[in-house]
Structure 1
């Protein structure tokens, strides 16, 4: 009878221990779940340090928890801590989700390791062929490497995806512009405006780059009136942008409207006194108007702002020749020739 009672007591104690152990496991599981949930929420809000701390709390108790390893690794990658993130990705092991791959690629990209970033973007596209962000980032990398065929192929893939068409046409415009194929670049950028009139999806940053590419493409095609139309809109969106006003002056110059061109260059030089082009063009205009003294002042400013450019020195040579100062004229002619050949000193 006593043995039976002892057995019952032991069984009761064991049952209680199992209940306590099970309760502790439930509590630990709940704590893990809460930590990971708060960490994922923080990650989604770009609060990467907070997400990383939540993952570490889980890893203290469960060092091989894969979800926590990946959350910690992604967070570190987003903070450009690749040196700490990659060992955690290795511990977690494949397969990796699209966000894991994006975080890894962006982390490498942020520290300038472009080859590793490109390889991960390719892995991502094997997994998700229509991932617009991966296509865009990889295409930009190929443009930077001057790999025109591959960049064009990726841009065409983007154009074939509804959400990527604007990005694809923009990238093809940049590729054509860089290659000096201005008719194609103008067509691509005008297609962007057709698809995205307010440039909401257009990827170039800052947005002024788009208008500069388009206006220069049109100017190179002799389409100055179209270029000026777009530049006026650009100036409406970006008031007092000296580069746009300088380009608008070039449009007027091409159309023979020299007085309007001069007014634009004067505005541009007042908006950004450090921009060399308006001073150069104002100096050349002074030469055309028969005022070599004013030309010397303006061209001297341009030469100071662009110490390697030959054009201001050519203008100064002409101005001093008209002033009868032969020695100075010959000096600036030599300096212009040196700058053109790349052998000039840094300052006159």
Structure 2
């Protein structure tokens, strides 16, 4: 008996894609949930980023007040933000800028440090604020760090040179002047610094060469960083030391035509004195004294001239005032001893001679370029004697 034939069953049809997405099936619900959750997560991230990037209302108010130059209101808003978020570096930086504008240098220093890494302008302001606060060692270190990052920054180089001038570190001033001369925008400042260094170390010929190069590069002295009266005074003294009185006079007359100045007019009188034109010299000195009755150099000049012409009582009045204004200067005291000898008052003459000898031992003359100090201003009180306002 033959085996029965097997009955074949049709294979079940596989589910179509449409059937797999039919609502009610577990797989469909799982995928839909995952998509929804992903969208919600993306929305949350976007909202968080938007909130993070959106400026705080206090910061917006501080920035608006700062732009309007209302630095006190800007500071109040920035500090309110720091009270809420002490780690907010933007608020710390804005508060530091406000304090710098208000001249509150020590408080600005603390907030600049809290602000972290600074850009060039803020780094310059921070260092300059340390100068104004009188913290010169830290200011010098701040400029060193700044120049490590921005070695060709002309402003920082000038300000660092001013600190070095206050320490009479002329070798390093010379190195900075050479760096500035090599920078296209720093040549005038570099030549000016070179002139200051040579003037202060009594190298008159080199000083004149540097200052004359400044005049060639910047005839109107618009870029030259010294106050103009200081520049003309230094140049005139160096020319006088070289025996070039007429050249010194030409420069002084040019300067005085623009703006009268008691110190420059006194030097103009010296140029006439060097040529033996004493009437013209005395006229200049009297004009200088009328403009500034407390100019010790002018009082000394007149006193010396009056001793020479035997107007002793007038001379004593001028010389005693000069000695009072410049108590460490030898010249008024020495000339007073001469005046009292001419007057016949030997006791007073001897007292002034003894005082002159004390000063001579304490302050020996260095020679070379006259007895006047360089005349630069103290860096801690506008730091460098240079035009250097905060932005």
Sort the TM-score into its range (normalised by shorter chain).
0.7 to 0.9
Counterpart position of 1:3? none
| Cα distance in 2 between the residues matched to 1:59 and 1:328 | 68
Counterpart position of 2:239? 218
More helix by share: 1
Say whether residues 1:152 and 2:178 are aligned partners. Answer: no
Deviation at 1:47, TM superposition (A): 5.2
Alpha-carbon displacement from aligned partner over 1:297-326 (angstroms, at most 9, x marks no partner): 433443344344333333333333333343
| Cα distance in 2 between the residues matched to 1:143 and 1:305 | 24
Structure having the higher Rg: 2
Alpha-carbon displacement from aligned partner over 1:19-66 (angstroms, at most 9, x marks no partner): 89977975774443x765664565567654444444445545655444
Say whether residues 1:114 and 2:114 are aligned partners. Answer: no
Deviation at 1:147, TM superposition (A): 2.7
Say whether residues 1:282 and 2:298 are aligned partners. Answer: no
| Cα distance in 2 between the residues matched to 1:213 and 1:288 | 27
Tell me the number of residue pairs that the alignment of Structure 1 and Structure 2 aligns: 330
| Cα distance in 2 between the residues matched to 1:77 and 1:295 | 50
Contact kept, 8 Å, 1:279 with 1:301, in 2: the verdict is yes
- The within-5 A match list for 1:55-204 is 55-56=78-79, 58-59=81-82, 62-76=85-99, 79-80=104-105, 81-82=107-108, 84-89=110-115, 92=116, 94=117, 96-204=118-226
Deviation at 1:86, TM superposition (A): 4.9
What's the TM-score once normalised by structure 1's chain length?
A: 0.79
Deviation at 1:142, TM superposition (A): 2.2
| Cα distance in 1 between the residues matched to 2:307 and 2:146 | 59
User: Secondary structure at the residue paired with 2:151?
Assistant: coil
Structure 1 runs of 4+ aligned residues shifted over 6 Å read 18-25
Deviation at 1:84, TM superposition (A): 3.0
Contact kept, 8 Å, 1:214 with 1:227, in 2: the verdict is yes
Counterpart position of 2:354? 334
Contact kept, 8 Å, 2:96 with 2:109, in 1: the verdict is no
What's the TM-score once normalised by structure 2's chain length?
A: 0.72
Contact kept, 8 Å, 2:245 with 2:271, in 1: the verdict is yes
Contact kept, 8 Å, 1:82 with 1:108, in 2: the verdict is no
| Cα distance in 2 between the residues matched to 1:74 and 1:98 | 13
Say whether residues 1:252 and 2:272 are aligned partners. Answer: yes
* Larger RCO (CA within 8 A; separation ≥ 6): 2
Closer, same or farther in 2 for the Cα pair 1:294/1:68, shift >3 Å? closer
Closer, same or farther in 2 for the Cα pair 1:99/1:52, shift >3 Å? farther
User: Secondary structure at the residue paired with 2:225?
Assistant: coil
Deviation at 1:260, TM superposition (A): 0.4
Contact kept, 8 Å, 1:72 with 1:88, in 2: the verdict is no
Contact kept, 8 Å, 2:92 with 2:111, in 1: the verdict is no
Contact kept, 8 Å, 1:242 with 1:272, in 2: the verdict is yes
Counterpart position of 1:271? 291
| Cα distance in 2 between the residues matched to 1:109 and 1:31 | 33
